[in-house]
Structure 1
Amino acid sequence: MIWQGLALSLVSSMAWCVLFNVPVRTIFAGGVAGMVGFLVYSLLPALGAEVLLSTFVSAAIVSLLSQILSIYLRVPSTNFSVAGIIPLVPGSLAYRSMLAFVNNNYIEGITLATQTMMIAGAIASGLIFGISVVTIVKGARHAGKRAQ
């Protein structure tokens, strides 16, 4: 089952790269970023992590990987980070939330909407965390060179 998820996350992330018109040479790397994010997201619950923690960690890893790939391939990191978080987006949860509201089941709708927003916040926080780590490391390396 995990192999099917990995393959689908690779293909869907590559499709988003094509949709966002990234350079052809970076399409596979964008797919790999999405696949790595999905792999981390799938493995952490098996180790006992909650959904929010696994979403945060996988988004942070996608962000770090995006920063590294952007340096290596000399393109903006958003080429990889946007495509990389696509497998993490809680689309079905948001759909079920709206469906509950349409069916006048407001308590379930509010519960599902809250979960959706928390997962979206974990994705955003993970992306910011990854960017912050890279920025701090670059600043420390620059400060170390200046001190010499």
Structure 2
Amino acid sequence: MAWWHGIILSLCSTTAYCLLFNVPVRVLPAGGAVGVIGWIVFSLSPYFGASQIMATFLAAITLSLVSQILSIYMRVPSTNFSISGIIPLVPGSIAYKAMLSFVNGDNLGGITLSTQTFLLAGAIASGLIMGVSIFSLWKGIVMRNALKRTKAN
């Protein structure tokens, strides 16, 4: 039952952030789907032995690739999808617990949780960049092959 809760909450939060960022109405279902896809990848990755940081990284790569593909298909900027799609991955509760640890005087626990928060945030940023890089590389290879075919004919 927790799966459905995660999917529904990621759909709602991603769609809400799409509305907050004034994404066109025709793009809202796709924006929500990007968040759900990212959440599914994040949720399934630990079953294959990935740590939380690696699961976040893989989900961010997936979000970035799906955002790039949808941006071409729907003719809108990819940031409409990627920025709202990462919302379910943001480590807000861990950051809150880190600050709470510092306030309560548990400096070692606060440093540990802060480090985990920074690593997760870095995994999100790195995953988004990696996805854009993979897509750009793939697009360049496709364009180069298309150019070779037209020169051959």
Q: TM-score, normalised by structure 1?
A: 0.97
Aligned positions of 1:1-12 closer than 5 A: 1-12=2-13
Aligned positions of 1:34-49 closer than 5 A: 34-49=35-50
Match of 1:82 in 2: 83
Match of 2:56 in 1: 55
Which amino acid letter does the alignment assign opposite residue 21 of structure 2?
F
**14-23 or 99-108: bigger deviation:** 99-108
Kindly report the root-mean-square deviation, in angstroms, between the aligned alpha carbons of the 2 structures. 0.8
Rg larger in 1 or in 2?
Answer: 2
Residue 47 of structure 1 and its aligned partner are, at CA, apart by 2.3
> Hey, what's the Cα distance between the residues in 2 that align with 1:124 and 1:52?
12
> Hey, what's the Cα distance between the residues in 1 that align with 2:62 and 2:96?
26
> Hey, what's the Cα distance between the residues in 1 that align with 2:143 and 2:36?
32
Residue 23 (structure 1) aligned with residue 19 (structure 2): no
> Hey, what's the Cα distance between the residues in 2 that align with 1:118 and 1:43?
20
Which amino acid letter does the alignment assign opposite residue 54 of structure 1?
A
Match of 1:92 in 2: 93
> Hey, what's the Cα distance between the residues in 2 that align with 1:144 and 1:10?
38
SS in 2 for 1:122: helix
> Hey, what's the Cα distance between the residues in 1 that align with 2:21 and 2:147?
39
SS in 2 for 1:15: helix
Residue 141 of structure 1 and its aligned partner are, at CA, apart by 1.7
Match of 1:65 in 2: 66
**What is the percentage of aligned positions where both structures have the same residue?**
55
Residue 144 of structure 1 and its aligned partner are, at CA, apart by 2.0
> Hey, what's the Cα distance between the residues in 2 that align with 1:53 and 1:106?
26
Aligned positions of 1:109-128 closer than 5 A: 109-128=110-129
Residue 50 of structure 1 and its aligned partner are, at CA, apart by 0.6
Residue 28 of structure 1 and its aligned partner are, at CA, apart by 1.1
Residue 122 of structure 1 and its aligned partner are, at CA, apart by 0.4
Q: Deviations over 1:98-124 (max 9, x none)?
A: 111111111100000000000000001
> Hey, what's the Cα distance between the residues in 2 that align with 1:100 and 1:40?
30
> Hey, what's the Cα distance between the residues in 2 that align with 1:47 and 1:145?
37
SS in 2 for 1:130: helix
Query: After the TM superposition, which parts of structure 1 deviate over 6 Å for at least 4 consecutive aligned residues?
Result: none
> Hey, what's the Cα distance between the residues in 2 that align with 1:19 and 1:128?
23
Which amino acid letter does the alignment assign opposite residue 5 of structure 2?
Q
Equivalent residue pairs, number: 148
Match of 2:133 in 1: 132
